[in-house]
Amino acid sequence: MKIDKKTRRQIIELIIIAGVVLWCVFNYTIFFHIINYVMKLIMPLVVGVAIAFIINVLMKSIEKSWFKVDKRKNKKLIRTLSLIISLLIIFGALGLVLFLIVPEFIEAIASIIKNISNIDWSSGIASKIENIYPGVKEYIKNINVQTMLNSTLGSPKDIVATIISILSGMASKVFLLFVGVIIAIYILADKENLVRQSKKLLKAFLSDENVNKLEKVVKLTNKTFSNFITGQCLDAILTGFEFFVILSIIKIPYALILGVLFSVTALIPYIGGFITLAIGAILVAVSNPINALWYLIVFIVVQQFDNNFTYPKIVGNAVGLPALWALVAVLIGGCISGFVGMIVSIPLVSVLYTLLKDYINNRLEMKKKR
């Protein structure tokens, strides 16, 4: 039987793919090392694309709503101004939050240390422990604090090495973020040209039909992620402000810190609120345990109002993902990639959900026509 050129090429491609897959299976350690190395190389680009996508949501809004002139004549000027304004708004907001939060955070830490140091640990607590566990005082006296610290933290050299390692890790992340911002600026400044080049590259290797399908998926992903980011940020700001106002009215301490913390953790759907609950309860309880009860009541009221009214109206309708799948997406995303996975999981699963829904509907339509 004679094999034509197309079939021969397909067989060769299958053999090559099967060979690559088998090599990866039998040399999985080398394969994962290669993947890890490649990820480290492209991580600045990944971070830059992510930052560019977030800034682009605000930049597009500024271009459409602020500038009413002919874009074809003033395209570069409008893009430059929109990008500068977007960066000023984002970094200005971050700077304002830090300016308001840092002094109050330092005051909160000082207050906690003061309150803890004023507690008379030697009277009531020690006597109760002694009654339950006789001989505990003698055991505590025989504890060598220096030995305990050395066994826990290591020698002074180990402690210095650990501190240097932590600082270098923080410095590398700050540098990665800085490089990501620079890459994002270049991407946003020439995004139309990059899109055109990407389309040209795809058309050179794929059929027009596959290019159209891929373009549809990219547009759906862009729309879903943009709606999610806009809705999530708006919901977080509103709920954080509500939380801050209510705590201020009933005179709960650290209202500003807790309001900002509520806004930040609200970016993690469904789960983020529990972080605010735990940290806030500890902060408030140290100053006055009764305030912790009021804090808990306010938190539950604001959280329920957000879950049942604000969040579904602002974010749910924009993303179009049922609540059950959204919760599952957050849990799986958190297990895979932590904080970033929790944030990205909902829009990503929403895209897959929409594509699957469209595919199933098309299959059902085709069955009806048969």
- Per-position pLDDT tens, the chain of length 370: 566 667 777 778 788 888 888 888 888 788 778 887 887 888 888 888 888 888 888 888 888 777 765 555 667 788 888 888 888 988 888 888 778 777 777 777 776 666 655 555 444 555 555 565 565 556 555 555 555 555 555 556 666 677 777 777 778 778 888 888 898 888 888 888 888 888 888 888 877 788 888 888 888 878 877 777 787 788 888 888 888 888 888 888 888 888 888 888 777 666 677 777 887 887 787 777 788 888 888 888 888 887 777 776 776 666 666 666 776 777 777 676 666 666 677 777 777 888 888 778 787 777 777 6
Q: Is residue 248 part of a domain?
A: yes
Let me know: does 89 contact 61? Beta carbons within 8 Å: no
Per DSSP, 2 falls in state P
Q: Is residue 274 part of a domain?
A: yes
Q: How far is CA 100 from the centre of its chain?
A: 23
Q: How many domains does the chain have?
A: 1
The amino acid at 121: W
pLDDT score of 143: 53
Determine how many CB atoms are found less than 10 A away from the CB of residue 151.
9
What is the distance in angstroms between the CA of the first residue and the CA of the last residue of the chain? 35
d(CA 106, CA 100): 11
Q: What residue numbers bound the domain in which 313 lies?
A: 207-365
The pTM (predicted TM-score) of the whole model is 0.66
d(CA 104, CA 95): 15
Q: Is residue 64 part of a domain?
A: no
Q: How far is CA 218 from the centre of its chain?
A: 21
pLDDT score of 121: 47
Q: How far is CA 46 from the centre of its chain?
A: 14
Q: What is the DSSP string of 212-255?
A: HHHHHHHHHHHHHHHHHHHHHHHHHHHHHHHHHHHHHHTT-TTH
pLDDT score of 157: 63
pLDDT score of 41: 83
Indicate if the alpha-carbon torsion angle 168, 174, 180, 185 is positive or negative: negative
Q: Is residue 51 part of a domain?
A: no
The token pair that represents 114 in the structure block: 């003061």
Q: Is residue 357 part of a domain?
A: yes
d(CA 235, CA 315): 8
The token pair that represents 156 in the structure block: 């002074």
d(CA 272, CA 13): 47
3-state secondary structure 294-336: HHHHHHHHHHHHHHHHHHHHHHHHHHCCCHHHHHHHHHHHHHH
Q: What angle do CA 368, 369, 370 make, to 5 degrees?
A: 95
Q: Is residue 261 part of a domain?
A: yes
Indicate if the alpha-carbon torsion angle 149, 153, 155, 157 is positive or negative: negative
The amino acid at 187: I
Give the burial string for 26-43 (b: 16+ CB within 10 Å, else e): eeeeeeeeeeeeeeeeee
pLDDT score of 160: 66
pLDDT score of 159: 64
Per DSSP, 3 falls in state P
Q: How far is CA 147 from the centre of its chain?
A: 40
d(CA 287, CA 119): 11
Question: Which residues 6+ apart lie within 8 Å of 153 measured at CB?
Answer: 159, 162
The token pair that represents 25 in the structure block: 């299976």
Q: How far is CA 30 from the centre of its chain?
A: 30
pLDDT score of 129: 57
Alpha-carbon Rg of the chain, whole angstroms? 28
d(CA 4, CA 178): 54
pLDDT score of 267: 72
Q: Is residue 331 part of a domain?
A: yes
Half-sphere exposure of 348 (CA within 13 A, CB side): 12
Q: Is residue 153 part of a domain?
A: no
pLDDT score of 139: 58
